[in-house]
Structure 1
Amino acid sequence: MPPWSAAPAGRLDEHVIDSDALRGNPLGDPHERPLEVYVPPGYDEEPERRYPSVYVIQGYTGQLPMWHNRAPWRPTFPELADRLFARGEAPPVIVVYVDAWTSVGGSQFLDSPGTGRYHTYLCEEVVSFVDARYRTLASRDHRAISGKSSGGYGAMVTPMLRPDVFGALATHAGDALFDVCYRPHFPKVARQLRDSYDGSVEAFLADFRGRIAGTRETDFALIEQYGYAAAYSADADGTVRLPFDDTGDVIPEVWERWLARDPVLMAARPDHAEALRSMRAIWIDAGTRDEYHLDFGAVAFRRAVEAAGVADDDVHFELFDAGHRAIEYRYPLALAWLAERLTP
């Protein structure tokens, strides 16, 4: 693999969306967002042909330009996707790269008074923007969503909440089984908050926002838990409630608000189970050495999908030998599988 990019066989278009849903969001983050849309080889030569679409969302702290960050000896995911279609290894689809970054690291792709209306932005504005400008098969039966980590979380919950928009999903090490992936971190974060900021979230935020991020060892752990709380447990007035007290023990009434967003528990509710049964394809995978134990989350979500009544033929489940990071080589596998299922 050369250490630089090559000309793609398809085309990657850059756009900016002026979002009404994100205008005036509580964090003051930009309402104009970048969007990239990839069209496969042959798109311009076949003006009558329409294509399925796959929306790709990022993990916590992800910003759209990061799709093009290059690791040594490894192609980026956009390059891997282009190679997939250039070699004819999957039916061609339109791939949409979505930005949902926030100044607390992410949105979990939910509507929240703590971060803004990112679920509405994705489902209402981004999808309609793409369908209006590209020759998509503009139907949920030909539209999928895919992501890793927090993006994998968004890929699980978005179709459960809006099965009219997305009819297939792929989750790579997505946040799930919150008692296992989130709760064990609470005592450590409570100790860091106590020792560095006298237990004050406000003091941490003022310090974090007043200097270069990442220059203190505690930065990522603290902002990550605050970012999740901003998505899962913000009050109507925007007040963000952490789910643990000064001892690291959970605050039951706040923790219940988090659990209400756990994909494993969501899948058991009748309306969400019905949404899952309507999916044309569900891909679930994770590394067996995942540092956040999201392999257990993947197993639990697979079992929840089965309990919801989804046919085995509509599900691909796999655990593979890897940790949480550097698994971008898995994304084209799911993309090809979804493309087969979405193509008429």
Structure 2
Amino acid sequence: MLPWSAELAGRLEEHVVSSELLRGNPLDDPHERPVLVYVPPGYDDEPERRYPSVYAIQGFTGHLEMWRNRMPYRQPFPETADAVFASGEAPPAVVVFVDAWTAHGGSQFVDSPGTGRYHSYICDEVVPWVDARYRTLNAPEHRAISGKSSGGYGAMITPMLRPDLFGALATHAGDALFEYSYMPEFPKCVRHLRRYDGDIWRWWDDFKGRTSFTRPEDMDLLNLLAMALCYSARDDGTPDLPFDPVNGMIRQDVWDRWLAWDPVRMVPGHAEAMRSQRAIWIDGGTRDEWFLDVGAQAFRQALLDAGVREDVIRFELFEAGHGGIDYRYPLALTWLCHAIAP
């Protein structure tokens, strides 16, 4: 296995999408965003053929170029995706790699006054942009979305909110069951914030003025700030924390706003959308540091309780923590492509 590159049987094309929905966003992040589009082997040989599409979204702090990161003895996802198409394991599909990074590490793929309209950006700008330029099958039964961690969260909620666009999903260790995945981090953040007199913006100013992630509190507080911007920002964009940063007491009204975005709790209100899905892949590592394997179990049960057919769901727990599980991506991609193929 070469440590630097591999030749693709298909083709990965680089583009930039100019987003009107992200123009003037609250964090002043770029409104022009890179997009990678993979076309499978044979795409050019049959000019009349149309293909299903899979949208790949990233975890917290992920940006587009990270899809090409190469770890020792492993291949990046564009290459492992290419391999399943080249081998014939998966029916051919167009794979779209989307960027939804923000200055605070991520958007959770939601519309928020604290970050911007990233859900609408994907659904109302990126999807039509791809369909207009590539020979895709423009129907939800032929379009899927897939992601890990925060990307897995986005993959869960996007088809709930837009079943007219997405008819299949794969979530790898996606954020779910927030009382287990988020709340255990709150007391740690209270301790961290003592250094900053309970002011998360003092930490943020400090963080920006030095080399990132050189203090133990950095990832915990970045994650807290980003999630508050996504789930509990006021209309003016100011984020409300779900607990008092000095004494740690839960602010129930704010926490309830977070819980309203929990995929497990969202399912009953979007039961019809979930019943319309052709395929739902759910997995997680049994040693996940944020207990997202437990969240995966809860999400699966919520789907079954909502009347989603068991044969539509592919559920698996496997021995792993939260990191290093990118080898799962081509497995889910293969399964999704069989489900959304014409």
The aligned counterpart of 2:330 is: 332
What amino acid sits opposite 1:212 in the alignment?
T
Q: Please state how far the C-alpha of 1:220 moved relative to its aligned partner.
A: 1.0
The aligned counterpart of 1:208 is: 207
Residues 1-344 of structure 1: pairs in structure 2 closer than 5 A: 1-194=1-194, 196-245=195-244, 246-269=246-269, 272-344=270-342
Identity across matched positions, percent: 66
RMSD: 0.7
Q: Please state how far the C-alpha of 1:216 moved relative to its aligned partner.
A: 2.1
State how far apart, in whole Å, the 2-side matches of 1:191 and 1:255 are.
19
Comparing 12-21 with 239-248, greater Cα deviation is found at 239-248
**Normalised by the size of structure 2, how large is the TM-score?**
0.99
State how far apart, in whole Å, the 2-side matches of 1:280 and 1:343 are.
11
State how far apart, in whole Å, the 1-side matches of 2:88 and 2:337 are.
12
State how far apart, in whole Å, the 2-side matches of 1:213 and 1:32 are.
25
Q: Please state how far the C-alpha of 1:250 moved relative to its aligned partner.
A: 1.5
State how far apart, in whole Å, the 2-side matches of 1:49 and 1:56 are.
22
* 3-state secondary structure, aligned to 2:235: coil
Gapped regions of structure 1 (runs ≥ 5):
none
Q: Please state how far the C-alpha of 1:77 moved relative to its aligned partner.
A: 0.8
8 Å contact 1:264–1:301 — kept in the other structure? Answer: yes
Instruction: Render the CA deviation track for 1:291-325: whole Å, top value 9, x for unaligned.
Output: 11000000000000101101111110000111110
Q: List structure 1 segments (4+ residues) > 3 angstroms apart after TM superposition.
A: none
* 3-state secondary structure, aligned to 1:236: coil
State how far apart, in whole Å, the 1-side matches of 2:191 and 2:339 are.
47
State how far apart, in whole Å, the 2-side matches of 1:248 and 1:182 are.
14
Q: Please state how far the C-alpha of 1:198 moved relative to its aligned partner.
A: 1.1
State how far apart, in whole Å, the 2-side matches of 1:328 and 1:240 are.
32
Gapped regions of structure 2 (runs ≥ 5):
none
8 Å contact 1:284–1:317 — kept in the other structure? Answer: yes
Q: Please state how far the C-alpha of 1:95 moved relative to its aligned partner.
A: 0.3
Instruction: Render the CA deviation track for 1:31-71: whole Å, top value 9, x for unaligned.
Output: 01000000000001111110000000000000000011111
State how far apart, in whole Å, the 2-side matches of 1:6 and 1:295 are.
33
How many pairs were matched up?
341
State how far apart, in whole Å, the 1-side matches of 2:115 and 2:320 are.
32
